Amino acid sequence: MNGFRNFMTGRYGTDQLTIALLVAGMILTFIGNAFDLYFLIMLTNAIFLACAYRTMSKNILARQKENYKFLQYWNPIKSWGVNKYNILKSSRNYKYFKCPNCKQELRVPRGKGKIAVSCKKCNMKFIQNS
């Protein structure tokens, strides 16, 4: 184990981009094997080689820049997914709807009948069935 630690000293290691590439590679491998797509399997080999290269790389600054670029695209997708998951989780207790004026997403507690709602964003007041 000490030899491996010495080998990895000064090398980049894994980050979010490497993990995303590994997951994408595994999915593409599964699809390639299921449908006998030879070029897809070759592509996944290239992806796995890129993962190994990034992990072993000593050019840490370049790898961090690549990861930063990836996160610029990934973080909005991730927060959208987390937001949708939270809405699904709490939809038993809250009713979600959009403001008729500015389309801001709002929520009210369920089972309170017709209630007066004022939008936090545009301050429009309207009656909403909960």
Binding site for Zn ion (CB under 5 A): 99, 101-102, 104, 119, 121-122
Least separation, in Å, of the C-beta of 121 and Zn ion?
5
Helices 16-34 and 60-90, interaxial angle, to 10°? Answer: 70
Nearer to Zn ion, 86 or 104 (CB): 104
Least separation, in Å, of the C-beta of 48 and Zn ion?
48
Nearer to Zn ion, 51 or 106 (CB): 106
In the chain, DSSP assigns E strands to 94-98, 105-109, 114-118, 125-129
Least separation, in Å, of the C-beta of 94 and Zn ion?
17
Nearer to Zn ion, 83 or 118 (CB): 118
Q: Are 16 and 69 in contact (CB under 8 A)?
A: no
Nearer to Zn ion, 93 or 118 (CB): 118
Least separation, in Å, of the C-beta of 113 and Zn ion?
22
CA distances from 6 to 1, 19, 43, 74 (A): 9, 23, 31, 32
Q: Is 108 left (phi over 0), alpha (psi -120 to 50) or beta?
A: beta
